[in-house]
């Protein structure tokens, strides 16, 4: 491909070091897409005839089809990278005409384009996976729409909340993840093709036409930037890292909730494993791996940032190191989202344990303080009074709501018989009746709202179906 200037071939070890085909062959469908558009541009610029264009396009489509059937063929070939592989395949099929396709193009603008098409396709896949996971969480919330669970701060019992409220907290996080991806997709969607090696191309191609043919919003504005920009990879790896972090947090919650001391949930057999030694064990391996994958995906982000941070303008071969972290993150985040959906779909919620634990730990102490405020005591004083009541309650081993009126009145004489209405679990959650609060009426509406948003976004995803190669 570039041997003319060289007297000998590369050292065997260096060739292995330099070649990227074993991992970049997944770019083939996108390389073909870009090449089809480039062939058309060359036709418009008068470099190719109509017949030549048709032969090239036909051969390119054939290469893509064959790759779909046997992807290992490209991966195991001896070419330097996917671009040289496709070009060699083309020449084998159409002869010398195949050598014309690279006119005015460089692998630098080619790989930048391929990678953007790939990344855009990956974003669309993630968005679909995210949507289905959010839908699963909303349905889980709805299946237990009135269940009360303990809420924690510092992993200490704090205040009771609805289980559905907990589910919807994660729906919020995952929705922000989707927003970040949509945002990254917008910034990515400018086409580098026609930027040449670094300075632009010497052929009069219509870059706006190329861009729109490949589903980009416009052409990139600066050729140096276009071939050396990997911001879109950093952008999506960063969004992917945040998303994986959210999955890791759900996992950590569920690992704790499923642990022996809590027993709030049980993992279904579909996503748990046993021990080779201890017959009684049921381990939450799916969740632990989900937590582990977050580390790996964050590693990909850091790896890329460190790779690009010291690069001089414009293309440098270091940039070939962008691919494995990206591809690995794409695979693993998608897997993670889909496995988490199975976890959510099959989660067994132990309702009795949830309610029993929600009642423990003086989770209604704040409400006793609020009751005193309602009776005219200043909150700082009521906080102190209830603190002493809790201490007494701990000493006697009786929960606040089970203390008799006389005992409660020892802490404050404003306490009347109606205090017990304030101390029930139902009262405690119902009082949080503000926007974003855990009152059942609010949470039920939040379930409906989340469902509506999911329906709308499902329609949107269907309407603007992936503009990347459907391979
Ligand atoms: N395999 C290369 C990469 O992924 C393609 C671009 C090569 N360009 C070059 N001038 N060596 O970065």
Cβ neighbourhood burial of 305 (10 Å; 0-12, 13-18, 19+):
middle
pLDDT digit string (tens) for 15-62?
999 999 999 999 999 999 999 999 999 999 999 999 999 999 999 999
pLDDT digit string (tens) for 129-157?
999 999 999 999 999 999 999 999 999 99
Q: In testing the pocket of ligand 1, which one of 82, 198, 320 has its CB within 8 Å of the most ligand atoms?
A: 320
pLDDT digit string (tens) for 360-415?
989 899 999 999 999 999 999 999 999 999 999 999 999 999 999 999 999 999 99
Query: Which protein residue's CA is at the shortest distance from atom 3 of ligand 1?
Result: 320
Fold entry, domain 365-423? Ribonucleotide Reductase Protein R1; domain 1 (1.10.40)
Domain borders along the chain are: 3-103, 108-357, 365-423
Ligand 1: centre distance to CA 112 (Å): 9
CA 334/CA 182 separation, integer angstroms: 16
Q: In testing the pocket of ligand 1, which one of 317, 319, 325, 327 has its CB within 8 Å of the most ligand atoms?
A: 317
For the chain, give the number of residues: 471
CA 212/CA 64 separation, integer angstroms: 21
pLDDT confidence of 468, banded at 50, 70, 90? Answer: very low
CA 353/CA 406 separation, integer angstroms: 31
Closest atom of ligand 1 to CA, residue 20: 1
Beta bridge partners of 349: 265
Per-residue confidence (pLDDT) for residue 448, from 0 to 100: 98
Per-residue confidence (pLDDT) for residue 157, from 0 to 100: 94
For residue 161, the surrounding DSSP H or E stretch is strand 156-162
pLDDT digit string (tens) for 179-235?
999 999 999 999 999 999 999 999 999 999 999 999 999 999 999 999 999 999 999
Closest atom of ligand 1 to CA, residue 115: 4
Q: What does the mean pLDDT of the chain come to?
A: 96
Q: Is the pLDDT score of 471 beyond 50?
A: no
Per-residue confidence (pLDDT) for residue 2, from 0 to 100: 76
How many CB atoms neighbour CB 165 within 10 A?
A: 24
Beta bridge partners of 74: none
Cα first-last separation, the chain: 27
Per-residue confidence (pLDDT) for residue 67, from 0 to 100: 98
CATH fit for domain 108-357, picks 1.20.200.10, 3.90.1150.10, 3.30.465.10, 3.30.56.10: 1.20.200.10
Cβ neighbourhood burial of 374 (10 Å; 0-12, 13-18, 19+):
middle
Indicate the pTM of the whole model. 0.94
Per-residue confidence (pLDDT) for residue 454, from 0 to 100: 97
Task: Examine domains 3-103 and 108-357 and report if their fold is the same.
Answer: no
CA 352/CA 446 separation, integer angstroms: 24
Q: Is the pLDDT score of 470 beyond 50?
A: no
Ligand 1: centre distance to CA 20 (Å): 9
The binding-site residues of ligand 1, defined as CB within 6 angstroms of any ligand atom, are 20, 24, 81, 107-108, 111, 315, 317, 319-320
Ligand 1: centre distance to CA 395 (Å): 72
pLDDT confidence of 277, banded at 50, 70, 90? Answer: confident
Ligand 1: centre distance to CA 81 (Å): 8
For residue 153, the surrounding DSSP H or E stretch is strand 148-153
Q: Is the pLDDT score of 467 beyond 80?
A: no
pLDDT digit string (tens) for 298-326?
999 999 999 999 999 999 999 999 999 99
Written as six digits, the tokens of 70 are: 């046997």
Q: Which residues are catalytic?
A: 154, 275
Q: In testing the pocket of ligand 1, which one of 107, 316, 319 has its CB within 8 Å of the most ligand atoms?
A: 107
CATH fit for domain 3-103, picks 3.40.50.2300, 1.10.150.120, 1.10.20.10, 1.10.275.10: 1.10.275.10
Ligand 1: centre distance to CA 180 (Å): 29
Q: What is the mean pLDDT of residues 163-169?
A: 98
Query: Which protein residue's CA is at the shortest distance from atom 2 of ligand 1?
Result: 320
Closest atom of ligand 1 to CA, residue 197: 10
% of the chain at pLDDT higher than 70: 99
Per-residue confidence (pLDDT) for residue 296, from 0 to 100: 98
Structural contact between residues 298 and 306, judged by C-beta atoms closer than 8 angstroms: no
Q: Say whether the peptide bond before residue 314 is cis (omega within 30 degrees of 0).
A: yes
């Amino acid at each position: 491909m570039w041997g003319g200037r060289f007297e000998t071939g590369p050292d065997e070890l260096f060739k292995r070091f330099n070649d990227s085909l074993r991992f970049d062959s997944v770019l083939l469908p996108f390389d073909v897409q870009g090449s089809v558009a480039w062939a058309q541009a060359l036709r418009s610029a008068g470099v190719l005839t109509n017949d030549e264009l048709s032969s090239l396009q036909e051969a390119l489509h054939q290469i893509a089809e064959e790759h779909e059937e046997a992807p290992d063929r490209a991966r195991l070939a001896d070419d330097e990278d996917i671009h040289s592989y496709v070009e060699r395949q083309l020449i084998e099929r159409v002869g010398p005409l195949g050598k014309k396709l690279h006119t005015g193009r460089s692998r630098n603008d080619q790989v930048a384009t391929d990678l953007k098409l790939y990344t855009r396709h990956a974003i669309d896949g993630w968005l679909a996976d995210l949507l289905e996971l959010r839908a699963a969480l909303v349905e889980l919330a709805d299946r237990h729409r009135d269940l009360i669970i303990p809420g924690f701060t510092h992993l200490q019992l704090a205040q009771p909340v609805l289980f559905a409220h907990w589910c919807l907290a994660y729906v919020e996080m995952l929705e922000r993840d989707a927003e970040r991806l949509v945002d990254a997709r917008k910034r990515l969607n400018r086409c580098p093709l026609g930027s040449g090696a670094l300075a632009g191309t010497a052929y009069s191609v219509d870059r706006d036409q190329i861009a729109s043919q490949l589903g980009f919003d416009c052409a990139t504005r600066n050729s140096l930037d276009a071939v050396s920009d990997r911001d879109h990879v950093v952008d999506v790896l960063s969004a992917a890292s945040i998303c994986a972090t959210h999955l890791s947090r759900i996992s950590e919650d569920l690992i704790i909730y499923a642990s022996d001391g809590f027993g709030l949930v049980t993992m279904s057999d579909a996503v748990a494993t046993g021990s080779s030694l201890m017959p009684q064990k049921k381990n939450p391996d799916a969740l632990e791996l989900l937590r582990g994958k977050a580390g790996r995906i964050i590693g990909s982000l850091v790896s890329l940032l460190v790779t690009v941070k010291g690069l001089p303008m414009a293309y440098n071969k270091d940039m070939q190191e962008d691919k494995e972290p990206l591809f690995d993150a794409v695979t693993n985040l998608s897997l993670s989202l889909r496995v988490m959906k199975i976890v959510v779909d099959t989660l067994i919620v132990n309702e009795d344990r949830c309610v029993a634990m929600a009642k423990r730990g003086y989770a209604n102490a704040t409400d006793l303080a609020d009751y005193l405020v309602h009776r005219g005591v200043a909150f700082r004083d009521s906080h102190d009074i209830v603190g002493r009541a809790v201490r007494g309650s701990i000493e006697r081993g009786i929960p606040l709501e089970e203390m008799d009126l006389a005992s409660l009145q020892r802490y404050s004489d404003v306490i009347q018989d109606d205090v017990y209405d304030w101390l029930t679990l139902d009262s405690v959650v119902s009082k949080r009746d503000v926007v974003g609060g855990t009152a059942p009426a609010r949470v039920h509406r939040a379930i409906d709202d989340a469902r509506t948003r999911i329906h709308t976004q499902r329609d949107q995803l269907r309407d603007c179906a992936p503009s990347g190669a459907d391979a």
